[in-house]
Amino acid sequence: MTARLRISWIIALVVMVFMLGGAVLAQDEAPAGVFYGGWPYSLPPDSHLNSFSAGGPQTNTGVYHDLIEMPSAIYLWSEARYQPLLAESFGFEGESAYVITLRSDAMWNDGTPVTSDDLIATYAIGRILGWSDYTYIDYLERVDDHTVRFVLKNPSIVAERLMLKTRVRAAATYADFAERATALYDSGATNESAEWQALLQEIRDFRPETLLASGPYHYTLEDMGDSYITLTWQPNSHLSSVVQFGEIRLWNGETEAVTPLFLNGDIAYGTYGFPPATEASFVDAGIRIIRGPQYTGPAIYFNHSLAPWNIKEVRQAMAYVIDRAEAAFLGKGLSARPVTFMAGFSDNLVPVWLSEDQTAQLNPYEVNLERAAELLQSVGFTQVDGVWQDASGAPVAAELTFPAEFADWVGGVQSAVDQLNAFGFQITARAVPAAEQEQATLRGEFQLTVRNWGIGSPFPNATFNQPLFRYNYNAGVEGEPGMNFPMQFDWNGEAVDLQALIAASGAGLDTATQGEAVFAVSQVFNDMLPILPLYETYTNNPLNESLVAGAPAEDDPIWTNGGGDNFTIILLATGVLSPAG
Amino acid sequence: MASSSTLADAPEAPRGLWSFMRRILRSYAFRVIAQGLFTIWAVTTFTFILIRQMPGNPIQIRISQIIQAQNVTYEEALAQAAGLFDFDPNAPLIVQYVDYLGKVLQGNLGESITSAGTPVLGQIMRFLPWTLFSIGLGLLFSFTIGVFVGIAMAYWRGSFFDNVMTIIASITFSIPNYLIALLIVLVLGVQLQLFSVGQLRGAVDPEVQPGFTLEYIGSLLEHAFLPVVTYISATVGGWMLTMKSSTLSTLGEEYVTAARARGLRSWRILTAYVGRNAMLPLVTQLAVSIGFVIGGSVIIEVIFVYPGLGGLLSSAIANRDYTTMQGVFLIIAFAVVIANTLADVLYGILDPRIRIGEEKKAR
C-alpha cells in the first residue's frame, strides 16, 4: 500500500465511522498526552475571545484555530478535494447557488448543536465586516436546521474555497449582532452609513466571556499564560473521540524565541521557517524536518518602466544565466527546489493543470550562457571589458532590493546576483526591511526587486494574480504602479489581453475551461517572463518524534498540503498524530 | 512690619500681580515644568509624525502577516483582515493629530488599532509593572554594583583588582544585551542544560496561584532572574568605568589631599569625601536610565518572552499599532522628563554650590 493510499484510507475510515454511526458517542475522558506546538500570540488585554475582532482567536491561535472554531471543510491538495470537518455535504447547485449541509452530530462545547443559524449568523456579521466572500455571494437562505443555500451572484471555485474555509462561529454568542446586521442590511443601509459604522464598532469592541468551540479543543483567557497557551480537550465535538491529545500547548514566540525550545525538546512541531544552519542543528539533535511545498518562493521583479528591464530578451537572457538549482540550495538548502517549468505557478501544480504535451511546450530555461549572449546581442547589446552594455553604451547595471528578514531568500538572491555579475551585469544587492520593500514595490520605486512569485492556493489563477495584479498597476490603486508590466500587447502576431486570460483561468466552475486559460497564461508568462522565478521554498518545520508519533512517511501526499490547509491540523483532527511512547 | 508692608502695597495690586507673575515665570519650578511640558509635547508630535512615515499601515501589515504566516491568497487574507481594525488610513494627518492630542489632554491614550476595543492605557497598566520590576531591579543592582566597584577600582588604581575589573567591564559593556541574552539561553540553557529554557519564560510559573506567598514570590524572582542578569551584565561595565573615571578626578582634588593629611581613615575619605562628589556626573545618567526603564528592554523581553512594556512596544512596531506606539512613547517621554527633573533637584542636594547658584540667580 502506498503512503498516499494509506493516509487516504485513514481519513476515509474516520469519516465513515461517524457517517455510519449517525451520532458520535461522547467521550467523557480526555485522551492522555500533550501536543507541544508554538505560535506567537498576544497576552490579554490585547488578546480576547471575539473572533470577529483583531486580537481574537484567529490571531492568537493561527492555524490551530481550525481545531477550535472549525470551518466546514479543509482542502486536501494532493487529491484536489475538500475533506469535510463541520459539513456533511456541500456542492454547487447549478451555477446559481452553493449548498452546505452541516453535520447533524456537530456540537458546541456547551452541548448545543451546530446549526444553520450559526452559519447564517457568521455570514451576517461577515457582511458588516466587509468580507470578500460577498464578491461572489448575493445572500444566504436557511433551508433547514443544518442546510444553508448561498445564492451566488458570481459563481467561482474561489468562492467555494472561501465559503468552506470560513470558520463557523456560535450564534449563541453573536446572535444579537447578527440580527441587527441583517436588519440593517435589509433596511438598505450601506457601509458608509453611520449606523453601519456604529454596529461595526460595537462588533469590534465586543468581548465575549467564553469562546464556544465546535472543534475538539477550546480555551479561556485564563489559559493564556505568558509563556504558553493551553488548548484543552472538550468532550462534545464530533472529533473529540478521534483526536489523540488531551491538550495542545502552544509556546509563545516568533522564530528566534522558540528556536531554543525546539533544541531543548520542549516543542514537537511548529510552522516556523528556519535558516539552514538552525535546521542543521535540529537534524543533529535528532529532530525530523518536514518539507512540504509552499507553492511560492522568491522571484526577481523587473520595473518595466525602465530600460533595459522592459526588453523581453534581456529578461530571457537572465533566465538562461542563473543556475536556479544553485540559488535554491544556497537559499534554503534541502528545503528549496529550483523552478523548472517556468509556467508562472508552482511546479507541483503543473501536472494537475497542464498535460504533458502542454508542459513540453514550455521553455525550461536551462543554464545556457551562449544563448544568453545571443539574446543580448540580438537587441544590440555588446560586451566591453567583460561588462554588458546596451546600444547607447550604458552598462547593464541596477540595484536589486530584497526583504532583509527573509532568511531563506538571502542566500539564493545573492547567488543569483553573483551569477549575473559574473556574466557581465553590474547588479548591487541591497537588503531592505520587508515592510518598506513591499511598499516600495507597490509604488514602483525600484529597478529590480525580489518578491514572492506565488501564493498558497491550489488554483493557478491566484498565483498569477500575485505578481500581475497585486504588484502591477492593474490592481487599480492610485500611486501604486508596481512593476508596471503592460497587460495588453501583441504576442506571436496576435493581440493578447493577459488580464482577461488570467480572469478566465479562475472564472466559472468548469475546471477544463479554466485549464485552457491556465495554459494560455503559462505560455505567455513563459515567453514574456514578466518576473523571473528563482526557486520554490519548502517548509522546514521541525517535528520531534520523541514527543509525537504517527507522522506519515516523507513521501506521503499529505505533506503537499499548502496554504491555509495545514497538514498538521489535518493529522491532529483525524487522530493520525498521537503522543509518543 | 509685615502688616504695614501689606497695607502699603494694597493700592498697587495690578503692579503687585504683575510682579508676582514675573516671579513665577522666572522661578526655577515654573521653568522646569514648562520645559517638561514642552518636551512631552514635542516628543508626542515628533513621534506621531514619524510613526506615520513608517512604510505600511496596520491593515497592509496585517494582510502581509496573514499571507506570510498562513500562506493564503491575498483575497483570503483581505477577507480575514477586513473590518478588523478601527482605523482609516485615508484620514488627513492633521485630523488624526488633533483627535489624538485632544484625547491625550483628557487622559485618554486611545484604543489599540490591532486589538480594537482595547484601551492603550489598559495595555500599559498590564505590562508596566513587570518592566518596572525586572528592569528596575536590574538597574538598581547594576548601578549599585557599578558605583561601589568603580570607586574601589579608582582607589586601588593600577592594582590587580583594577586591571581585572577594567577588562571585565570593557568586555561586558561592549557586548550587546541581545547577544548576552542569546548566549545565556543557548549555552547555559540548551548546551549545558543548567536550566529549563521553557520553564523560565514569562513572568511567573502559570501553575503557581497568584498571592502573597513564598511560592509565588519565589516564582516571580526566578522568572525575573535571567532578564535581570542580562540587564546587569550589559550595563554594569558602563557604571563601573564611569564611576572609576569620575572617582579618579575627584581623588585629585585638594580637599581629598587635605583629608588624608588630617589622617582620616580610607573608608571615611572614600564615602564622605570622594564617593559623594564622584557620584555627581552619574546622577543625570541614572535619571535618564530610570526614565528609560519604563520603556523596558525590547530585546531582552522578547528573547525571554517576559511580558513587559518593551515586548509590547516591539509587537506594536511590528504590527504598526500607531496608538499603542504613541502611548508607550508618551509614557517613556513623561518618565524621562520627571526623572530629569528629579535629577536636577538631587543635584542641588548633593552639590550645595549648584543650589546656592540657583538661589542667587532667582534673587
Residue A92 contacts by C-beta under 8 Å, 6 or more apart in sequence? A98, A99, A155, A160, A509
Is residue A448 within 8 Å of A483, Cβ to Cβ? no
Quote the CA–CA distance of A444 and A467 in Å, as a whole number.
13
Q: Tell me the pLDDT tens digit for each residue of B306-351.
A: 999 988 998 888 888 889 999 999 998 888 888 888 887 777 777 7
More confidently predicted of B128 and A8:
B128
Which of B85, B189, B312 is closest, CB to CB, to A54?
B85
A249 touches chain B (CB under 8 A): no
Q: Tell me the pLDDT tens digit for each residue of A172-194.
A: 999 999 999 999 999 999 888 99
CATH of domain A298-537: 3.10.105.10
Give the distance, in angstroms, between the CA of residue B300 and the centroid of all CA atoms in the same chain.
14
A255 touches chain B (CB under 8 A): no
Q: Which residues does chain B have within 8 Å of residue A226's beta carbon, measured at their own beta carbons?
A: 201-204, 206, 305-307
Q: Which helix (H) or strand (E) holds A382?
A: strand A382-384
Quote the CA–CA distance of A427 and A107 in Å, as a whole number.
59
Q: Do A130 and B117 touch (CB under 8 A)?
A: no
Q: Which residues does chain B have within 8 Å of residue A54's beta carbon, measured at their own beta carbons?
A: 62, 84-85, 113-116
Q: If you measure CA to CA, which chain A residue comes closest to B78? A: A132
Q: Tell me the pLDDT tens digit for each residue of A191-215.
A: 889 999 899 989 989 999 999 999 9
Question: Which pLDDT value is given to residue B361?
Answer: 59
Can you read off the three cell numbers belonging to residue B252? Answer: 585629585
A331 touches chain B (CB under 8 A): no
pLDDT value at A248 more than 50: yes
Residues paired with residue A137 on neighbouring β-strands, in sequence order:
A152
- The position carrying cell 545618567 is B285
Fold of A1-45+215-290+541-581: D-Maltodextrin-Binding Protein; domain 2 (3.40.190)
Q: If you measure CA to CA, which chain B residue comes closest to A205? A: B117
Q: Do A257 and B85 touch (CB under 8 A)?
A: no
pLDDT value at B362 more than 60: no
Which of A43, A47, A204 is closest, CB to CB, to B86?
A204
Chain mean pLDDT for chain A: 91
Q: Which residues does chain B have within 8 Å of residue A467's beta carbon, measured at their own beta carbons?
A: none
Which of B60, B115, B201 is closest, CB to CB, to A54?
B115
The CA distance from A313 to the nearest CA of chain B, in Å, is 31
So where are chain B's domains? 127-318+337-362
Q: With H, G, I as helix, E, B as strand and everything else as coil, classify residue A504.
A: helix
Q: Tell me the pLDDT tens digit for each residue of A305-356.
A: 999 999 999 999 999 999 999 999 999 989 999 999 999 999 999 999 999 9
So where are chain A's domains? 1-45+215-290+541-581, 69-209, 298-537
B5 pLDDT tier (thresholds 50, 70, 90)? very low
How many Cα neighbours within 13 Å face the side chain of A215? 33
Question: Which pLDDT value is given to residue B8?
Answer: 46
Dihedral sign from CA coordinates of A418, A420, A426, A429: negative
Q: Which helix (H) or strand (E) holds B188?
A: none
Predicted TM-score of the model (pTM): 0.82
Q: What is the 3-state secondary structure (H, E, C) of A46-115?
A: CCCCCCCCCCCHHHHHHHHHHHCCCECEEEEHHHCEEEECCEEEEEEECCCEEEEEECCCCECCCCCECC
pLDDT value at A534 more than 50: yes
Which CATH superfamily, name and number, covers B127-318+337-362? MetI-like (1.10.3720.10)
Question: Which pLDDT value is given to residue B288?
Answer: 80
More confidently predicted of A132 and B10:
A132
Q: Do A45 and B83 touch (CB under 8 A)?
A: no
- What integer is the mean pLDDT of B97-105? 89
The CA distance from A457 to the nearest CA of chain B, in Å, is 6
Report the range of poorest mean pLDDT among A217-226, A502-511, B231-240, B350-359.
B350-359
Window 277-306 of A, Cβ < 8 Å to B:
294-296
- For chain B, percent of residues with pLDDT exceeding 90: 28
A23 pLDDT tier (thresholds 50, 70, 90)? very low
Q: Which residues does chain A have within 8 Å of residue B74's beta carbon, measured at their own beta carbons?
A: 455, 462, 465-466, 470
CATH class of A69-209: alpha beta
Q: Do A263 and B60 touch (CB under 8 A)?
A: no
Report the range of poorest mean pLDDT among A295-304, B265-274, B343-352.
B343-352
Q: What are phi and psi of B211, to 5 degrees?
A: 160, 170
